[in-house]
């Protein structure tokens, strides 16, 4: 193997993560509050932006706002603003999930929530009205999306939708990166108790550190200024329902060994470049969004390096004046149960909705926030990525010149691929890690 150890690694500026982490940090979690406050905060946060778009679009046509959805009367065209709710037999039932008074299982969700038999409503603080019409049937919608609907009341008391509009993409800061440097996006390592570090994982670490491949590969790896692992770093075994931990049986020993092995593996990467970890559904973190950072005590070796960070899921972070928003993929997977669009298309659409997890808390577990809805996109990122998907990339374009690169990061344990994102051009490409060389 031709290894050039003289190639210096590129270095760039990393913004303070505390500037963005506060959005998703929950502190000590309490679940005594109800979820209706979260919906109320979401509606009131996004409503001014939606009204601005709706009035610009429809008021020149003499179509005006009806302030409350229950105040819609007669066949005259009007528009209303509210939160979409889909009632479907396929959606999971909380009561059906309760196995006993102490355990709620994580059910296997159906493939689709929207199968043609669902009923779509628009609701606000006054109540809800049923939405009907071809525009609703053909639109890409999901529970929890805040929208304006233009149409008229039917004789049955439903609202026949003719057109609709959303909040649109938020303001976007200027991007000033002028260097050809890369961020390595990785997800789904799925280190297991049986095999904590696979051969492909080892080759991946060598590639990122510049110790694998030829001279061209080493020059590319030297331009990688950050590695991000977006969820499912580990595949921690779930105890069976009703299991009671017995300290004498050393139940935790296999998991402790797994965590130690992953820490030792990741420390090799952290020694070469900044490394950020987002928790995923298989990792030892909170089950509901936003998942809190993996505890630093699990990474005794990694935390010796100043560039090592454990982030929330979702997470904002800034590298060389490029703002990134990343998730581990749960939000995109849940959106896929409402539409046949690709994950990349749905992720891009969520930026137009100005919300990264609209289906929470209806069909996606989340914390019942009372002060604000942190999933509302207040600043449009330059890059939006989601982990544990099949690779796909696209661009979301706003009405005011916003452009966001949308990247679906492949699950490494399945595809043996990572994504290299060029911070100057925002072009991305996959690198296949082949252990049979």
Residue-wise pLDDT tens for the chain (437 aa)? Answer: 444 455 777 777 666 555 566 678 887 777 778 889 999 999 999 999 999 999 999 999 999 999 999 999 989 999 999 999 999 888 766 555 555 444 555 556 667 888 888 999 999 999 999 999 999 999 999 999 999 999 999 999 999 999 999 999 999 999 988 889 999 999 999 999 999 999 999 999 999 999 888 888 899 999 999 999 999 999 887 765 555 555 545 566 788 899 999 999 999 999 999 999 999 999 999 889 999 999 999 999 999 999 999 999 999 999 999 999 999 999 999 999 999 999 999 999 999 999 999 999 999 999 999 999 999 999 999 999 999 999 999 999 999 999 999 999 999 999 999 999 999 999 999 999 987 65
Rounded CA separation 303/310 (Å): 9
β-bridge mates for residue 315, sequence order: 326
Cα distances (angstroms) measured from residue 283 to each of 274, 336, 402, 406: 21, 22, 34, 24
Give the three-state DSSP class for 373: coil
Cα distances (angstroms) measured from residue 205 to each of 94, 199, 267, 268: 42, 10, 10, 7
Tokens of 59: 């008021």
Rounded CA separation 113/142 (Å): 9
- For residues 232 and 240, the answer to whether their CB atoms sit within 8 Å is no
Q: Would you call 163 exposed, middle or buried from its count of C-beta atoms within 10 A (0-12, 13-18, 19+)? A: middle
Rounded CA separation 261/240 (Å): 24
Q: For residue 393, what is the enclosing H or E element?
A: strand 392-397
Residues 6+ positions from 148 with CB-CB distance below 8 Å: 50, 51, 53, 54, 79, 80, 81, 164, 165, 166
Give 61's DSSP letter. Answer: G
Q: For residue 58, what is the enclosing H or E element?
A: helix 36-58
- For residues 185 and 324, the answer to whether their CB atoms sit within 8 Å is no
Tokens of 33: 């509050």
Q: What is the pTM of this model?
A: 0.91
Expressed in angstroms, the distance from the first to the final Cα of the chain is: 10
Give the three-state DSSP class for 388: strand
β-bridge mates for residue 376, sequence order: 355
- For residues 280 and 313, the answer to whether their CB atoms sit within 8 Å is yes
Which of 218-221's residues contact partners 24+ apart within 8 Å by CB, and which partners? 218/2, 218/3, 218/4, 218/7, 219/4, 219/7, 220/182, 220/420
The rounded Cα 394 to chain-centroid distance in angstroms is 16
């Amino acid at each position: 193997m031709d290894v050039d150890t003289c190639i210096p690694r590129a270095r760039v500026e990393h913004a303070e993560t505390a500037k963005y982490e506060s959005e998703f940090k929950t502190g000590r979690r309490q679940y005594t509050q109800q979820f209706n406050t979260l919906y109320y905060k979401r509606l009131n946060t996004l409503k001014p932006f939606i009204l601005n778009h709706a009035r610009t679009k429809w008021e020149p046509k003499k179509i005006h706002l009806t302030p409350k959805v229950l105040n819609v009367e007669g066949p005259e065209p009007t528009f209303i603003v509210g939160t979409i709710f889909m009632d479907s037999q396929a959606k999971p039932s909380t009561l059906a999930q309760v196995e006993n008074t102490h355990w709620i299982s994580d059910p296997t969700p159906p493939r689709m929530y929207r199968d043609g038999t669902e009923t779509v409503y628009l609701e606000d603080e006054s109540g809800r009205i049923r939405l009907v019409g071809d525009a609703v049937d053909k639109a890409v919608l999901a529970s929890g999306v805040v929208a304006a609907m233009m149409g008229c009341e039917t004789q049955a008391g439903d609202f026949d939708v003719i057109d609709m509009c959303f909040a649109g993409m938020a303001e976007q800061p200027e991007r000033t990166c002028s260097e050809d440097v890369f961020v390595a996006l990785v997800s789904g390592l799925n280190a297991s108790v049986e095999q904590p570090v696979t051969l492909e994982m080892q080759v991946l670490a060598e590639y990122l550190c510049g110790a694998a491949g030829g001279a061209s590969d080493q020059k590319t790896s030297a331009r990688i200024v950050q590695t991000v692992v977006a969820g499912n770093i580990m595949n921690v075994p779930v105890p069976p329902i009703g299991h009671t931990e017995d300290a004498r049986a050393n139940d935790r020993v296999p998991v402790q060994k797994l965590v130690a092995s992953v820490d030792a593996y990741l420390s090799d990467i952290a020694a070469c470049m900044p490394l950020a970890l987002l928790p995923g559904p298989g990792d030892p973190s909170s089950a509901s969004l936003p998942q809190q950072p993996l505890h630093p005590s699990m990474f005794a070796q990694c935390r010796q390096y100043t560039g090592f960070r454990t982030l929330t899921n979702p997470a904002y972070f800034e590298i060389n004046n490029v703002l990134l928003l990343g998730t581990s993929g749960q939000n995109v997977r849940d959106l896929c149960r409402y539409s046949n669009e690709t994950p990349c298309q749905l992720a891009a659409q969520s930026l137009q909705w100005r919300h990264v997890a609209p289906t929470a808390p209806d069909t996606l577990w989340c914390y019942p926030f009372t002060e604000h809805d942190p999933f509302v996109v207040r600043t449009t990122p330059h890059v939006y990525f989601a982990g544990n998907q099949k690779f796909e990339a696209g661009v979301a374009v706003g009405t005011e010149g916003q452009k966001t690169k949308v990247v679906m990061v492949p699950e490494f344990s399945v595809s043996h691929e990572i994504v290299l994102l060029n911070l100057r051009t925002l072009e991305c490409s996959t690198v296949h890690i082949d252990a049979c060389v």
